[in-house]
Chains A and B, each alone.
Chain A
């Protein structure tokens, strides 16, 4: 995490890139040509004859073969070297990404791309591209993590310097919320599947959840007067004693009240979801889910038994099953 001063310094450096070209113009290594068009169309499953059949293309309004407009960027890509070489020292886009990586925003994901085409490219055309950093956002909190949106704009021209199209591209360079393993540059971090919300833990409740993790459903019991209480509190409301212990419940109980959640849906929970207020045979009540029957079968007075189960790879919860 950066201090306010460090962040200010970083943002000043970032803004210095705005409005600048990312490097010298990229000139397409190959002229627009029929073999590359054919390979692209095969890969895309595009059978449009104006790209593939010279005779049909001649009869069309184009008067001859044309390249698919969406190939625009393909004509200036450097192929495998792009993946293998670290890039030119004067590639400012790479410098910009490195600056963010070093500042604690290691991941990158492409979020938007827009293209517009001025004319169809035909075999023999040579494409040149110039890319400019158009804008860099303020720090934004997103579902993936906290980071900066970088917008670039690339203009494409032909051998005569005339416009053939443009492209805007937006990436998010970010610090993921949770990093199970270090994210790699250039690899979009997969969004973690949503899970149930965790109980925030503190002095007064962590011991109960540790019990659940061991497979025990606990009830707080006052050591002085024996009163049971749930949810736990640090002091006994009956006798004001601070001494207590966790007593293991048998987990048998009765549905005292219940609801079925329909709306709004909450990521990580399967709806409709039955939530019940269970009165344990020991006398305390707790809120938990009822499993093992349809939500519509839950009813007041229903006998239930707790089983402590994993609801995902980490979280254990007491789930109550109908008995009898």
Chain B
């Protein structure tokens, strides 16, 4: 028997801590606060939770968070690997658990002191990210150690093949920043960014400049996945999960898939899109707003192509003239994204996706029937499409 996951679950609650450069408290406390906030938002109590899921990179064990929050018996817990690629992978875990009846109410969470504690930007020299040392052995001696450097290698080739200009990358940063200016939770709240300021910012790894790279942040996010029937009786209108998918592509490496015939598109994200559209019966034409994982500006371009918003190589034209802004063709990252709100490994994007469906975003587009939310790029990855009940 095939079980369809379409419309079998809904997000009933979202919660988060403040986002900062130094939280001043433990990662466990951030996780507990975010989970409690999500439960309060849903109008549920810790005793209602019977499942939990998070990233393999999260240092907070499910049972530690459960003890801290006062969550009781757990029937389901699981983890998803590969950094930000896990952001919707964890949603898929929750959806599968709830749709199959393994659990009724699953908390998804992610919390870290990524800025004041272990910073990912310093790269694998610090011995973080992965125990897959042999994989990294091909990059360590040559200095290719940081997420920015890996993404830059794809970016250079993409720009070369399609005539994408530095100012096209800047367009993504500038559009996203316009949203953060209105968002009190954003690091760049009230701080505008011009194309010229982007172009004048310092190099991180050519061809990426400072404002092509996301924030580093402390903070936590959580959301509650449960059945639509249950969600209907709770505090907020539910955000139905209409399609959700996860994929790793052929010849995939963790951030360094440099050996495929072409490195200027994302086969794993193509596969995610294909599965997600098939499950939901929807297409890119149905998407009213999107949360597109934006650890770096160029990865937004590649995903626009993977999800079919434009042809391969044409994203540079698609993003012009404010197309990604709240009143544009595809309102995108209305919270300011990871570039300008905070880097909570994509999970702040999940919360914003739910706000868009509820109609409560600080940059709320008029039409909000369907919202796309995607996760990490350059890694085995994932995405979902949310809809109104």
Contact of A266 among B123, B136, B203, B256 (CB under 8 A): B123
A266: B residues at CB distance < 8 A = 123, 125, 143, 145
Question: Interface segment, A31-39, A124-132, A284-292?
Answer: A284-292
Q: Is B138 an interface residue (CB 8 A)?
A: yes
Q: Is the CB of B154 within 8 A of A201?
A: no
- Residues of B contacting A63 with CB < 8 Å? none
Q: Say whether B206 contacts A317, CB under 8 Å.
A: no
| B157 and A257 form a contact (CB under 8 A) | yes
**Contact A287/B125 with A200-B137, A300-B157 known, Cβ cut-off 8 Å:** no
CB of A199 within 8 Å of the partner chain: yes
- Contact status B156-A258, CB under 8 Å: yes
Does A259 contact B205, Cβ atoms closer than 8 Å?
Answer: yes
A262-282 vs B, Cβ < 8 Å mask (1 yes, 0 no): 111010010011010100000
Q: Are A289 and B143 in contact (CB under 8 A)?
A: yes
Cα A273 to Cα B152 in complex, Å, equals 13
The complex places the Cα of A256 from the Cα of B137 at a distance, in Å, of: 20
- Residue with the greatest number of chain B CB neighbours at <10 A, chosen from A202, A260, A295: A260
CB–CB B157/A256 < 8 A = yes
Q: Which residues of A contact B1 (CB under 8 A)?
A: none
Say whether B137 contacts A259, CB under 8 Å: no
A29 at the interface (CB under 8 A from B): no
Interface residues of B in 239-267 (CB under 8 A from A): 251, 256, 258-259, 263
* Beta-carbon contact of B140 and A287 below 8 Å: no
A204 to B137, CA, bound (A): 11
Contact of A275 with B149 in the complex, beta carbons under 8 Å? yes
Task: Determine whether the beta carbon of B205 is less than 8 Å from that of A260.
Answer: yes
A300 contacts which of B138, B142, B156 (Cβ < 8 Å)?
B156
Q: Let me know if A201 and B137 touch, CB within 8 A.
A: yes
Among A205, A231, A264, point to the contact of B122 (Cβ < 8 A). Answer: A264
Q: Bound state CA distance, A230 and B141, in angstroms?
A: 16
Which one of A199, A237, A257, A263 lies within 8 Å of B153 (CB-CB)?
A257
CA distance A222 to B263 in the complex (A): 24
Q: Is the C-beta of A144 less than 8 angstroms from some C-beta in chain B?
A: no
Asked whether B160 lies within 8 Å of A300 as measured between CB atoms, the reply is yes
A190 within 8 A of B: no
The CA-CA distance from A202 to B140 in the complex, in Å, is: 15
How many residues does chain B have at the interface if contact means C-beta atoms less than 8 Å apart? 36
Check A275 against B144 for contact (C-beta < 8 Å).
yes
Cβ of A315 under 8 Å from chain B: yes
Q: What chain A residues lie within 8 Å of B202 (beta carbons)? A: 262-263
Residue from B125, B153, B207, B259 in contact with A197 in the complex, judged by beta carbons closer than 8 Å: B125
Q: Is the CB of B122 within 8 A of A259?
A: no
Beta-carbon contact of A231 and B145 below 8 Å: no
- Please indicate which of the listed interface residues A256, A262, A286 has the most CB atoms of chain B within 10 Å of its own CB: A262
A214 in the interface, Cβ–Cβ < 8 Å?
no
A284 to B121 CA separation, bound complex (whole angstroms): 29
In this complex, what residue of B is CB-closest to A315?
B141
**Contact partners of B258 in chain A: CB under 8 A:** 257, 277, 285, 287
Contact call B153/A204, Cβ cutoff below 8 A: no
- Name B136's closest neighbour in chain A (CB-CB): A200
The answer to whether the Cβ of A140 comes within 8 Å of any Cβ in the partner chain is: no
Q: Please, which residues of chain A bring their CB within 8 A of the CB of B259?
A: 230-231, 284-285
Q: Which residue of B lies closest to A212 (CB)?
A: B141
B134 beta carbon closer than 8 Å to chain A: yes
> If A230-B259, A259-B205, A317-B142 touch, does A205 touch B153 (CB 8 Å cutoff)?
no
Task: Verify if B139 is at the interface (C-beta below 8 Å from A).
Answer: yes
Task: Name B138's contact: one of A202, A258, A286 (CB within 8 Å).
Answer: A286
Output the nearest chain B residue to A264 by Cβ-Cβ distance.
Answer: B122
Is A119 an interface position by the 8 A CB rule?
A: no
* Cα(A231)–Cα(B132), bound, Å: 13
Counting CB contacts under 8 A, is A181 at the interface? no
Q: Beyond A257-B263, A259-B149, A261-B205, is A287–B156 a contact (Cβ under 8 Å)?
A: no
Q: Is A196 an interface residue (CB 8 A)?
A: yes
A256–B258 Cα distance when bound, in Å, is: 10
Q: What residues of A have a CB within 8 angstroms of the CB of B134 in the complex?
A: 200, 202, 204-205
- Name the A residues within 8 Å of B200 (CB-CB): none
In the bound complex, CA of A289 to CA of B143 (Å): 8
- Please report the C-alpha to C-alpha distance between residue A264 and residue B143 in the assembled complex, in whole angstroms: 11
Question: Chain B: which residue is nearest A203 at the CB level?
Answer: B134
Q: Is the Cβ of B141 less than 8 Å from the Cβ of A196? A: yes
Which of B143, B259, B263 neighbours the largest number of chain A CB atoms within 10 Å of its CB? B143
**In the complex, per-residue mask of B15-37: 1 if CB is within 8 Å of any chain A CB, else 0:** 00000000000000000000000
Complex CA gap A100/B207 in Å reads 51
Instruction: Please report which residues of chain A, range 200-239, place their CB below 8 angstroms from some CB of chain B when the two chains form the complex.
Output: 200-202, 204-205, 209, 230-231, 237
Asked if B123 and A263 make an inter-chain contact with CB atoms under 8 angstroms apart, the answer reads no
How far apart sit A266 and B207, CA to CA, in the bound complex (Å)?
A: 18
Q: Is the CB of A198 within 8 A of B160?
A: no
Chain A contact residues, CB within 8 Å of chain B? 196-202, 204-205, 209, 230-231, 237, 256-264, 266, 269, 272-273, 275, 277, 284-289, 295, 300, 311, 315, 317
16 CB-based A-B contacts, threshold 8 Å: A197-B125, A198-B140, A200-B133, A200-B134, A200-B137, A257-B154, A257-B157, A257-B160, A258-B153, A258-B156, A262-B202, A266-B145, A275-B144, A275-B153, A300-B156, A317-B142
The 7 closest A-B pairs by CB, nearest first: A199-B137, A200-B133, A260-B206, A257-B157, A262-B203, A259-B152, A197-B140
4 extra A-B contacts, CB within 8 A, seeds A260-B206, A272-B206: A259-B149, A259-B206, A261-B205, A263-B204
